[in-house]
Structures are given as structure tokens and as C-alpha cells.
Amino acid sequence: MIPRVAMFGTGYVGLVSGVCIADFGVNVICVDVNKEKIDGLNNGKIPIYEPGLDVFLERNMKAGRIQFTTDAKKAIQESNVLFIAVGTPPKENGEADMQYVYAVAETIGEYMNEYKVVVDKSTVPVGTGQIVKKIIADKLKERGVEYSFDVVSNPEFLREGKALYDFTHPDRVVIGVESEEVADIMKKVYRPLYINETPFIITNIETAEMIKYACNAFLATKITFINEIANLCEKVGANVQQVSTAMGRDGRISPKFLHAGPGFGGSCFPKDTQALVQIAEKHGVHMSVVSAVIQANQRQKKMVVKKLEKVAGDLKGKTIGILGLAFKPETDDMRDAPSLTVISDLAEKGAKIKAYDPQAMEEAKKVLKKYADSINYCKHAYDVAEGADALIIITEWHEFRNMDLTLLKKIMKGNIFYDARNIYSRKDIEEKGFVFIGTGI
Ligand code: NAD
């Protein structure tokens, strides 16, 4: 079977996966319910900021290997490997909201016209593969037709900001299947990786679903661990950067995800840690470590304004400059960004906020509507600094790593420089006459 892929969802994961699979030489039809996104994509307009995506998209559009449509029926009937890459956002109680995944499964059942492989790429609770199977089977029964199909779990590990590289150079590809024949079809989809000796980990569906949550919960734990070590470093005069460098040199630990900061955010770690706790509770298992991580991360985000207050005193009427809004550099994703906690805490305390982010300003304006009266969005870092009592670096974009400190000192009203990401040294900042606050240094 020569794979022809339909990709449901053109968000951060679906769009990158669709474009990269097309780049592997496979014909791909991307489907989304959002007509505006699809119209834009058909005109070469990319709805998200992801470095390099424009180049990949143009190349594959020119080659005629990728199409964008809202027509689910056409995509299903013209393809044989159907990926589900729609959102699984958190519900109020922390559970994953599965309505979008289930809706795609229903649609597949409605239009299926021959054998299909249905691949779940969204991050979903363990057991979802079997539910998707039942939804499709029920729909086929309702239609009074009989087609065979297989369900696969193929979780995605890409990082926003490095998504193209991660998709095309993964540490491993995880495939949860019920038969070897289906695993072979998936290897064809990923053929350039498979023949280049990327490890393929073939498991049952439940194991593949579990792997994704286990990975994200572990990484969130690692970040939270070093954040708590940083908090202690501040009290005892130790330097967390040197602690993490030394820890990272230990081959058993690795240096990645050992950078102390204002807490983790983004569209994955906060929601996936919560979802894992909920899944476990349902099965009568208490995830004590992950539960503690969630709480510690909340405290870490709240700590930013508390630490600022200790140095700056009452924040009412003070002007605080925020550098970086996205949850990390090289993305415009504002979902669960630590900046949201910092800004809401500042606004609640009556501070005036000046803010700038190289890519996330539009998204930030949407999610921070409630605080619109308190925020002045600026054109660049120096614009933020002008007249500010304090400056806080929340996201470590490259352009904040090399600022003219003399100029900053001159144009600021106050002298507090809060580097929540530890991209400057205390010595360099203090030498310029600032009061320095870092995270564990
Ligand atoms: P997203 O919100 O950016 O995109 C989801 C897209 O699905 C939207 O464009 C939406 O319009 C579309 N959609 C909703 N219902 C649809 C339907 N019935 N048919 C077709 N399209 C539909 O989400 P995302 O960040 O790409 O995440 C998708 C999944 O991948 C989630 O489960 C997430 O946890 C997981 N994941 C995300 C990342 C990441 O870095 N963002 C990494 C790995 C895994």
C-alpha cells in the first residue's frame, strides 16, 4: 500500500506533521474546520509562527504534494492513512477535553469508503485508541456498511520553535499498533526516517499513549526540580546555574531541561501533567510526584511578583516592563505562558505594565483582554524600558540576551533588573548600577 495521508487539524502539530510528511515524499491533504485557516494556507499564509515552516510549505506546495481543505469527505476518501492531530485542551477539572478527537472519529466513520488506518497523533488519555475504534465501528454500523480499519497511536514529541527539525530528526518514533502489518504501513509513512536508522518503538496502543504522558510529566518534573533547587540556592548563597551545569555533566542526568526559571508553561506540560493525574485517579492510582509538580509550578509562577515586591515595595502605580510574553522563545504560543500569571498578578496589584514580545503580541492581546487597561504594548525592548521602575525578562528571546545595559539604565526610571531566565550575570547587571534579581543565582 502506498500511503496517502489525510491530516486532521492544522495547528502547531497537524500543520508541521502534514508539511513534513509531504516532505518525506507522501501526498498529504490537510483538513481543518477553521475555514479562515484553510483559505489562508491555500494562499501561502501560515497561521502560526514556526521558524522554517514557510520554506517547507512552499517547497511541498510547489511539488503538489500538499493540499488544504475543509472538505473532510474528500480528504477521507482520497487517503488511506488518516491522522488525528486536533487539540485536546484541558477541561476545568484538568481532564483532557476529547470532543475534537471524537468528532474526527465520527467524521471518519461517516465517510469511510474502504480500508483505512486511523492514526492518533494528538496527546490523549490511555484507552482513547479503543474509544476511537468503537466510535468508528458504531458509525459504520449505523450506516449499514462494513469496512475494515486499524487504529494506531503515534504520539508527537516535537518542540514548538524547533518543530521542523524535531519532526525530521526525532530521537525515536513511537508506534502503538495491534498488528505488524499496520506497523509496516506506518514505517512507509516515515520511510526516510526508518531507512536512516531512527529508532522505531513498536508497542501496543495503550503503551504508546502512556509513553507521551510519561515523557511530558518527566520533563515537567525535571524543570520543577531545578526550580525548587534554585529557590533554595537563593536562600543559601549557592548558584543554580553552576549546580545545573555540574548535574548535567552527569551522564545519568543530562543537561537538558535543567534551566531554572519562572515555571513551565505552554500548550503541553501544564495540561498533560493535569490529565495524567486525572487518568491515574480514575484507575485508583495516586500520582504523588506529578501532583506535587503541578502545585510547585503554580507557586513558581506566583513567586515572580512576590520576589519583585520584596525589592520594589508596593507595586501600585509603578510601571513594570515585561520582556517576552510567549511561553518560550521562537513561538507565538501564549497557552499557559508564565507571563500570564505575572501580568495578572501585577495588574491585580495596581501596577502599570509595558510589554513586548517579538512574535506573540497578537496572541497576547487576545488572551490578556481582561487586563487591556493596565497594559501598554510596546514596539521593542527599549520602548518597554523607557520610564519603567523595573524590568522583568520572562522569555529568553535572543534579542533580549544582548541589550545595551547602559542605555537601559539611562532610560529607565527605576533600577530593578529582574532576569527570571538567568541570561545575564549578576555581576554585569550590578556593575551598571541596577538592583539585580535572578532565579537562584
Ligand atoms: P492547535 O490548537 O494548535 O490545533 C488544533 C487544530 O485542530 C485547530 O486548527 C482546529 O481548528 C483543528 N480542529 C478542531 N476540530 C477539528 C476537526 N473536527 N477537524 C479538523 N480540524 C479540527 O493544537 P496543537 O498544539 O497542534 O495540538 C494538537 C495535539 O497535539 C494536542 O493533543 C497536543 O497535546 C498535541 N501536541 C502538541 C504539541 C505542541 O507543541 N503544540 C506537541 C506534541 C503534541
Interval 241-268: pLDDT, tens: 999 999 999 999 999 999 999 999 999 9
3-state secondary structure of 2: coil
Q: Distance (Å, rounded) from C-alpha 234 to C-alpha 441?
A: 6
CATH, domain range 4-203: 3.40.50.720
Please tell me the predicted confidence (pLDDT) of residue 371: 97
Atom of ligand 1 nearest to the CA of 10: 9
For residue 46, count other CB atoms closer than 10 A to its CB.
16
Q: Distance (Å, rounded) from C-alpha 179 to C-alpha 119?
A: 14
Please tell me the predicted confidence (pLDDT) of residue 184: 98
Q: Distance (Å, rounded) from C-alpha 308 to C-alpha 302?
A: 11
Tell me how many degrees the CA angle 59-64-70 measures, rounded to the nearest 5.
105
Q: Distance (Å, rounded) from C-alpha 168 to C-alpha 222?
A: 25
Does ligand 1 have an atom closer than 6 angstroms to the CB of 274?
no
* DSSP type of residue 6: E
Same fold, 4-203 and 216-437: yes
Sorted by where each begins, the domain ranges of the chain are 4-203, 216-437
Q: Which amino acid is at 263?
A: G
Query: What does the mean pLDDT of the chain come to?
Result: 98
CATH superfamily of 216-437: NAD(P)-binding Rossmann-like Domain (3.40.50.720)
Name the nearest CA neighbour of 240 among 226, 222, 224, 254: 226
Task: Look up the ipTM and state it.
Answer: 0.99
Name the nearest CA neighbour of 206 among 102, 129, 132: 129
Atom of ligand 1 nearest to the CA of 104: 18
Percentage of the chain lying above the pLDDT 70 cut: 100
Ligand 1 pocket test: pick from 267, 334, 336, 367 the residue with the most ligand atoms within 8 Å of its Cβ: 267
Q: Output the pTM of the full model.
A: 0.96
Mean pLDDT value of segment 30-59: 97
Q: Which helix H or strand E contains 416, and what residues bound it? A: strand 416-419
- How many residues are given for the chain? 441
Q: Distance (Å, rounded) from C-alpha 46 to C-alpha 57?
A: 9
Interval 322-331: pLDDT, tens: 999 999 999 9
